[in-house]
């Protein structure tokens, strides 16, 4: 077929053009899918740099500004809460204007949030810094929704692989990001900023580069093209998005497979966020330098993303539920190793690496299971709702993590996180047995 020119995209409403035009201008689906995945992978490298820099430095910056170890967990909480709050509006924008608009705006908001943190840090304005961290959460929302964008045009037998490739591409940037903590501290001292704020310079630039790539290269838009290829499936304006999302959640509740995917996504994310949030503080209190903290978070993020193509292949070959269950086993091993590490830095680092691998198994398999278990008419709303719930539960885990460490120590936090494996395993086993 003749590919549609980049200027021939659908109208901003996302509705199909006149019926008579479609046959003449529709591009080749496989070619556009290949291009879409490549562009998303490239953009995720930059977004990953921004995310990694914030993860490694955010909790340390909040602890410095507030003077409270318990408050340190609010850094990740605020980023995660910002992702939750913005996931539904960004999904609605993607539905009505396309993925380029939704993902691009998320990256822009995150860049603005990094700038706000840089303004607040030298002034010691804690509320302003908290606002900046909330805005930075838009980058996480864009990161999560990118994995679903990879499935808009994918064939059924290749969805997990396409999704996993986009997840994997974050590896380069997300591993690099935390290691910018040391250079960031040097740059911060040069301009009289708190050392912990320096990484936000790199995160802001990275988010801007991610936006530029999405804005200029994600053409034709995969969601708008999917709507044109499947009339009546994913079309519609964003004004009724929340009403449709409510119906979509009822649709999920009526589907055992979709409900299993949603529960695994949400609770698995809570396990990862709660433990990861307080690990930089735990290491710092045992004498670790910023470089050591950055290295540990880098390995954790490598575990999250580096093996996702293998996880995707396993999910396509062996099924979604077995991979979800494998992730729960890895979570238990991770929390046991990190929770009993004490001042052994290698054990904390190894535990955080396994924590990332468990998250990869749960997220890739559960995201694919959820996406394929709902019909096209509900898919965008379900994706937005799942990201919102992941953000809300992750924010709660991040907020409570500081209190858990203050009361029962880092080991107690890991033990509490491991308990969340039980409901996920129960649901996955029940659904797996019911399929037989």
CA dist 326 → 110, 112, 329, 330, 424 (Å): 33, 38, 5, 6, 11
Least confident of 72-81, 90-99, 247-256, 411-420: 72-81
- What would the two tokens of residue 118 be? 């840089």
Average pLDDT value for the chain: 83
**Nearest alpha-carbon partner for 382 in 254, 273, 272, 271:** 254
- Where does residue 7 rank: exposed (0-12), middle (13-18), buried (19+ CB within 10 A)? exposed
DSSP-derived secondary structure letter, 231: T
Q: What does the pLDDT look like over 132-178, one tens digit per residue?
A: 999 999 998 998 899 889 988 888 778 888 888 888 887 777 667 76
398 and 76 Cβ atoms separated by less than 8 Å: yes
- What would the two tokens of residue 343 be? 């001042």
Q: What does the pLDDT look like over 388-430, one tens digit per residue?
A: 888 888 878 877 888 888 888 899 999 999 999 999 999 999 8
Q: How many CB atoms lie within 10 A of CB 40?
A: 25
Residues 6+ apart with CB under 8 A from 436: none
pLDDT level of residue 8 (50, 70, 90 thresholds): very low
CA dist 426 → 203, 256, 328, 350, 374 (Å): 39, 12, 11, 27, 22
Q: What does the pLDDT look like over 204-226, one tens digit per residue?
A: 999 999 999 999 999 999 988 88
Instruction: List domains and CATH numbers for the chain.
Output: 26-435 (1.20.1250.20)
Long-range contacts of 120-128 (CB under 8 A, 24+ apart): 121/61, 121/65, 121/193, 121/194, 121/196, 121/197, 121/200, 122/192, 122/193, 122/194, 122/197, 124/65, 126/65, 126/66
Residues 6+ apart with CB under 8 A from 155: none
Q: Which residue did the predictor score with more confidence, 227 or 122?
A: 122
């Amino acid at each position: 077929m003749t590919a549609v020119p980049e200027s021939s995209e659908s109208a901003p409403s996302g509705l199909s053009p006149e019926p008579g035009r479609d046959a003449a201008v529709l591009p080749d689906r496989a070619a556009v899918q290949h291009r879409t995945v490549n562009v998303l992978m490239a953009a995720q490298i930059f977004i990953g740099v921004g995310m990694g820099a914030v993860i490694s430095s955010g909790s340390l910056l909040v602890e410095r500004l507030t003077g409270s170890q318990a408050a340190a967990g609010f850094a990740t909480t605020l980023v995660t809460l910002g992702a939750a709050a913005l996931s539904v509006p960004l999904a609605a924008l993607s539905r009505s204007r396309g993925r380029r608009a939704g993902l691009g705006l998320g990256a822009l908001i995150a860049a603005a949030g990094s700038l706000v943190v840089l303004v607040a840090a030298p002034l010691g304005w804690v509320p302003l810094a908290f606002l900046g961290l909330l805005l930075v959460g838009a980058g996480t929302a864009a990161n999560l929704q990118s994995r679903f964008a990879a499935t808009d045009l994918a064939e059924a037998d290749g969805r997990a692989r396409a999704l996993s490739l986009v997840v994997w591409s974050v590896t380069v940037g997300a591993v690099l990001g935390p290691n910018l903590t040391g250079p960031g501290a040097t740059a911060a001292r040069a301009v009289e900023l708190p050392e912990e704020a320096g990484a936000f310079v790199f995160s802001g630039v990275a988010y801007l580069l991610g936006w530029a790539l999405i804005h200029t290269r994600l053409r034709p838009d995969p969601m708008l093209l999917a709507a044109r290829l499947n009339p009546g499936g994913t079309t519609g304006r964003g004004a009724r998005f929340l009403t449709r999302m409510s119906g979509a959640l009822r649709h999920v509740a009526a589907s055992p497979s979709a409900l299993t995917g949603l529960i695994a996504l949400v609770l698995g994310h809570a396990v990862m966020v709660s433990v990861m949030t307080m690990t930089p503080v735990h290491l710092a209190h045992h004498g670790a330098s910023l470089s050591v903290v950055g290295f540990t978070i880098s390995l954790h993020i490598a575990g999250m993303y580096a093996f996702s193509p293998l996880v995707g292949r396993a999910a396509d070959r062996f099924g979604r539920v077995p991979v979800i269950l494998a992730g729960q086993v890895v979570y238990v091993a991770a929390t046991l190793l990190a929770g009993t590490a004490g001042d052994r830095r290698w054990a904390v680092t190894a535990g955080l690496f396994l924590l990332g691998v468990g998250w990869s198994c749960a997220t890739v398999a559960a995201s694919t299971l959820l996406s394929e278990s709902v019909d096209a008419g509900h898919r965008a709303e379900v994706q937005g709702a799942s990201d919102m719930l992941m953000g809300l539960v992750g924010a709660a885990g991040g907020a409570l993590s500081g209190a858990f460490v203050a009361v029962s120590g880092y080991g107690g936090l890991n033990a509490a996180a491991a308990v969340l494996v039980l409901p996920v395993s129960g649901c996955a086993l029940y659904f797996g047995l019911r399929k037989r």
